[in-house]
Amino acid sequence: MTHPEEGATGPDQNDPEVRRGQEERLRKVWAAPAGWRYLSSVNNTEVGLWYVGTAMIFMLFAGVLALGMRIQLAVPENDFLSADLYSQFFTMHGTVMMFLFAIPIFESLSLILLPQLLGSRELPFPRVTAFAFWCFFVGGVFVCGSIFFGAGPKGGWFMYPPLTTQERFTPGYGPDIWLLGLSFIEIAALVAAVELIVGTLKCRAPGMRLNLMPLYAWYVLVVAGMILFAFPPLIAGDILFELERLFDWPFFDPSRGGDPILWQHLFWIFGHPEVYVIFLPAIALLAMIVPTFARRPIVGYSWVVLAAVGTGFISFGLWVHHMYTTGLPAISLGFFNAASEVVAIPTGVQIFVFLATCLAGRVIYSVPMLFAAGALAIFVIGGLTGVMVAMVPFDWQAHDSYFVVAHLHYVLIGGMLFPVVAGIHYYWPMIFGKKLSARAGWYAFWPMFIGFNIAFFPMHFSGLMGMPRRVWTYPEEMGVALPNLISTIGAFIFAAGFLIFVLDAVRPRKDQPYEKRNPWDAGTLEWLAEMPGEAWGVRSVPIIETRYPLWQQPNFIEDVSAGRFYLPDAEEGRRETIITSVLAAKPECVVRVPGPSHVPLVAAVLSGLVFIFATFHWWLLTGATAVAAGAVIIFWLWRGTAEIPEKPEKDVGLGLTLPLYRSGPASVGWWAMFITMFGDLTAFLSFLFGYYYFFTLHADFPPPGTEGPGLFWPSVAAGVFVVTWAVAELSKRSNRSGRVAAARLLMGLAAAGALAAAGTLLWGPYATRLDPVAHVYPATVWVIVIWVALHAAIGCVMLLYCLARSLAGRMTPDHDKDLSNVTLYWHFIGLQALLAVATVSLFPLAV
């Protein structure tokens, strides 16, 4: 064990003068900008707060919509809302709760918590965080705003085609607003997920091996990984959907070979993991709260980790249970029935871990624990009805009825909203230095708990009595008037309880004194936070040897606060944090994270406008803003990334010297590229899935009389791709070995090769005159080749960027992050190009 005192060679941390100097420098470096410049802040603490706040406001908005629906359904044949408005209300309610509340609240809470939990000063890409937030903000306001113009989407939150793809069924821009607005938000969510994964893998305090990570961080890893693989199929689906709406490519139109069920597959491959993306973070919050109030470490740490990872994997094998009534063969129904039930086991493990921890500890009462208990009581009902609806024969009755509405609200409110409220109560002092009122918490809890059950329990019976979901009214003779009236009353009681919570949160608390440090006497790192908080995160980056350092490492808080660990100072006036290795968390280098900037805000607004203009088919403006957004992003990269430090390494304290620049797998940028490209590859595989799906659906695919893209041009394209890929790799090696001129030449050649590759790939279907509007086969081929060609074009820009960096002296043989990341990108594109050619050219020959 290394006690911080040993081997200390730097400044004397016991000297208060030395410490005061360090603190002043740290405070200055990490200070949030004031006044109007506040919006240029990129620090995880500020951006995280905006993010949480915005998500909560969207949640309240969606809640008000829900109350509107409950008023409409209070009595049979009511006319409070028209059918049209009611459809917009339920579509928007589901969409906002899912995409603008449930996912962002996890990502935003994690942005705030993660650096604290990991003993890091900041996540690796603060400006990317800010970009993701602003994208979310712009996209969310756009989507929500549409309802005030009566132009909101109204196809239900899963937007089944052909209802939503064809103008004659759904006139107007509603579906486009949904698709483009949400695609934009989904991209932001993906960006944040990449940030969270890299943060968890690379920004842990030295010594925090994977099996010492706080459980919350494990959940972040699992959930962000699920987002990474679950969102791309939906984005691919969105692209197909929008191509059909904008250009009439018939992916979901059965009259030209398409199939509406493909959308359901793509949507639910996303949609089912999504449920766990929402539920697991809530469990993660409980995994932090329960040990604190049971006054002991969690029992069964490895059980929880295994259960979380297991749930993540299983959740990708369940999507068909949303499609039991689409007439699938009995054998697949049986398989998915069994698979859906299996998930009860890891879920049971996670719940029983908490019960076991309470059993082995001495539980004390607190508001977070009250909400946790409420969550348990509600969620267990949701889980049990989940076991019921996963049974195929029962689901034939319950599917698309109010039983499902009841089930999903028990799961989401018990498995997400209550734990989030518990988490907000728990973490409020960490962020603001003051607790929320325990009394208000109690008064909020009971109406919420009782009102929730009054509102949603009767819905089980409304559903079994024959009430389908998404009906704007129902007849008296259906016999569901009484349960509906009860539900409406319950909904208002629930809302009143939630209002008490919100009012307590927003009321001014100037007179309330700050809490003592670690006010709940917790054991995990985030409670190092000073009261009131300091912007620097941790005073010094500690060495971690246990799972609950505040309980298990003696004198820990004092050593950290006295700056006796790493990076106690900001000598060069830069924001710095330590990067460690993925498994063992050995220090690898110091990363300098960027400070405040307006660029992410500008880039996000411009990118948002691209999507908004495209919604209304203003193509000229769309093109212009796309170019502008691209230029701003390149400016951002040029000025703010891969900066060459003024010295190769620095002393971080305790006798340790770390490099300031590393490329390849030791750098966070490389990991971000690697992880992003996995998401990108998943989207591409979703298109290939579409191709093979149509192949299995049709007896003749390609349809008779249609000539595919041929063999010649795609083969040439594959060759050019391979050569370009090799040249890019070669340029990296030449640059590393100091042959800069050769490297520059190769970069130029590779850039030209990229364009040639894209051109030849597109030439195949063009030369054989494949018409994407005529049939789904040419449309699918075109989508695949355009996707790869676009990636090649972006790869060309990347190579030219590297060339320019090299010429400008911003990239040298020793400092080659840019080229190293671009080469990594090309590995993925090379692979995609080969898969694309094999599918569109070779596969039809083989069958």
Which residues between 529 and 568 bind other proteins (CB under 8 A)?
none
Question: Angle, to 10 degrees, between the axis of helix 260-294 and the axis of helix 668-697?
Answer: 140
Q: Which is nearer to other proteins, 679 or 702 (CB)?
A: 702
Specify the residue, 425 or 564, whose C-beta has the smaller distance to other proteins. 425
Residue from 352, 443, 492, 766 that binds other proteins (CB under 8 A)? 352
Round to whole Å and give the CA distance between 810 and 804.
Answer: 8
The only residue of 38, 396, 616, 635 in contact with other proteins, by rule CB under 8 A:
396
Q: Please state, in angstroms and rounded to a whole number, the distance separating the CA atoms of residues 597 and 599.
A: 5
Closest CA to 380 of 348, 423, 345: 348
CB-nearer residue toward other proteins: 479 or 519: 479
> Which position among 112, 117, 236, 376 is part of the footprint of other proteins (CB under 8 A)?
376
Q: For other proteins, give the closer residue by CB, 159 or 230.
A: 159
- Give the residue, chosen from 25, 141, 473, 681, that forms a contact with other proteins under the rule CB under 8 A: 473
Give Rg (Cα) of the chain: 28
- Chain length of the chain: 847
* Interacting positions 139-198 with other proteins (CB under 8 A): 154-156, 160, 162-163, 169-170
Residue 365 CB, shortest distance to other proteins, in Å, is: 9
31 or 163: CB nearest other proteins = 163
Cβ proximity to other proteins: between 158 and 618 the closer is 158
Binding to other proteins in span 477-496, by CB under 8 A: 477-480, 482
Question: Alpha carbon 246 to chain centroid distance?
Answer: 27
CB of 304 to other proteins, least distance (A): 9
Q: Smallest distance from the beta carbon of 264 to other proteins, in angstroms?
A: 9
Q: How far apart are CA 777 and CA 490, in angstroms?
A: 51
Q: How far is the CB of 228 from other proteins (least distance, A)?
A: 28
Residue 356 or 742 with smaller CB distance to other proteins: 356
Distance of CA 23 to the CA centre of its chain: 34
Work out how close the CB of 284 gets to other proteins at its nearest, in angstroms, rounded to a whole number.
Answer: 17
Which of the residues 407 through 436 are near other proteins (CB under 8 A)?
A: none
The residue assigned the tokens 């973070």 is 281
Q: What is the DSSP string of 596-664?
A: --SHHHHHHHHHHHHHHHHHTT-HHHHHHHHHHHHHHHHHHHHHHSSPPPSSSEEEEETTEEEES---G
Which residues ranging from 291 to 330 are in contact with other proteins (CB under 8 A)?
A: 299-300, 303, 325-327, 330
Residue 61: CB minimum distance to other proteins, A:
22
385 is a site residue for other proteins (CB under 8 A): yes
Q: What residue type is 263 in one-letter code?
A: W
Question: What is the spatial distance between Cα 499 and Cα 497, in angstroms, rounded to a whole number?
Answer: 5
Q: Closest approach of Cβ 299 to other proteins, in Å?
A: 4
SS3 566: strand
Instruction: Give the nearer residue to other proteins in terms of CB position, either 220 or 294.
Output: 294
User: Footprint of other proteins on residues 743-762 (CB under 8 A)?
Assistant: none
State how far the alpha carbon of 377 is from the alpha carbons of 380, 388, 410, 453, 712, in Å.
Answer: 6, 17, 10, 10, 64
Q: What mask, x for binding other proteins by CB under 8 A, covers residues 250 to 289?
A: ----xx--xxxx----------------------------
Residue from 60, 75, 344, 499 touching other proteins (CB under 8 A): that is 344
**Is the bond preceding residue 532 a cis peptide, omega within 30 degrees?**
yes
Q: Which one of residues 202, 204, 469, 662 is an interface residue with other proteins (CB under 8 A)?
A: 469
Among 31, 39, 471, 626, binds other proteins (CB under 8 A): 471
Output the smallest distance, CB 255 to other proteins, in A. 7
478 near 424, Cβ under 8 Å?
no
Stretches 51-59, 397-405, 444-452, 666-674: which one binds other proteins (CB under 8 A)? 397-405
- CA separation, residue 31 to residues 43, 574, 596 (Å): 9, 12, 9
Tokens of 677: 């490209």
d(CA 523, CA 525): 7
CA distance 86 to 92: 10
**Contact residue for other proteins among 67, 141, 342, 633 (CB under 8 A):** 342
Question: 664-668 long-range CB contacts below 8 Å, 24 or more apart?
Answer: 664/820, 666/579, 666/581, 666/588, 666/589, 667/579, 667/589, 667/591, 667/817, 667/820, 668/124, 668/125, 668/198, 668/202, 668/203, 668/579, 668/591
Of 549, 528, 546, residue with least CA distance to 537: 528
Q: Which of residues 36 and 149 has its CB atom nearest to other proteins in the complex?
A: 149
Phi then psi dihedrals of residue 695, to 5 deg: -60, -45
Task: Compute the least distance from the CB of residue 394 to other proteins, in Å.
Answer: 6
Q: Write the CB contacts of 252 (distance below 8 Å, at least 6 apart in sequence).
A: 161, 162, 165, 240, 241, 244, 258, 259, 260, 262, 263
Rounded Cα distance, 234 and 689, in Å:
13
Q: Site size for other proteins, by CB under 8 A?
A: 86
Least spacing, CB of residue 169 vs other proteins, in Å? 6
Of the candidate spans 133-141, 183-191, 476-484, 664-672, the one that interacts with other proteins by CB under 8 A turns out to be 476-484
Q: How crowded is residue 173: how many other Cβ atoms within 10 Å of its Cβ?
A: 18
Among 417, 424, 426, 423, which residue's Cα sits nearest to residue 449? 417
Residues in contact with other proteins, shown as a per-residue x/- string from 448 to 467 under the rule CB under 8 A: -------------x--xxxx
| Contact with other proteins (CB under 8 A) among 272, 399, 662, 817 | 399
Could you give the residue ranges of the DSSP H alpha helices within 698-816?
712-736, 740-767, 776-807
Q: What is the DSSP string of 309-328?
A: HHHHHHGGG-GGGG-TTS--
Task: Determine what percent of the chain falls in helix, strand and coil, rounding each to the nearest 5.
Answer: 70, 5, 30
Structure tokens at 52: 């949480």
Q: Rounded distance, CA 765 to CA 757, Å?
A: 14
Nearer to other proteins by Cβ, of 82 and 512: the residue is 82
Verify binding: residue 348, other proteins, rule CB under 8 A.
yes
Q: How far is the CB of 399 from other proteins (least distance, A)?
A: 6
**Closer by beta carbon to other proteins, 84 or else 707:** 84
Q: Which residue's CB is nearer to other proteins, number 373 or number 485?
A: 373
| Least distance from other proteins to the Cβ atom of residue 820, Å | 45
Q: Which part of the chain contacts other proteins (CB under 8 A), choosing from 470-478, 534-542, 687-695, 728-736?
A: 470-478
Smaller CB separation from other proteins, 380 or 582:
380
Q: Which is nearer to other proteins, 211 or 326 (CB)?
A: 326
Residue number with CB closer to other proteins (337 or 682): 337
**Of residues 95 and 401, the one with the C-beta less far from other proteins:** 401
- In whole angstroms, the minimum distance from the beta carbon of 422 to other proteins comes to 15
- Establish if 210 lies at the interface with other proteins (CB under 8 A): no
Q: Which residues, 64 to 103, sit near other proteins by CB under 8 A? A: 82-84, 87
Tell me whether strands 656-659 and 649-653 are parallel, antiparallel or unpaired.
antiparallel
CB of 291 to other proteins, least distance (A): 12
Interacting positions 353-372 with other proteins (CB under 8 A): 353, 355-363
* Residue from 474, 636, 763, 782 binding other proteins (CB under 8 A): 474
Q: Which of residues 616-655 bind other proteins (CB under 8 A)?
A: none
Q: How far is the CB of 354 from other proteins (least distance, A)?
A: 9
Closest approach of Cβ 250 to other proteins, in Å?
A: 11
Q: Is 578 helix (H, G, I), strand (E, B) or coil?
A: strand
Angle, alpha carbons 145-150-154 (nearest 5°): 90
User: What are the residues facing 576 on neighbouring strands?
Assistant: 592
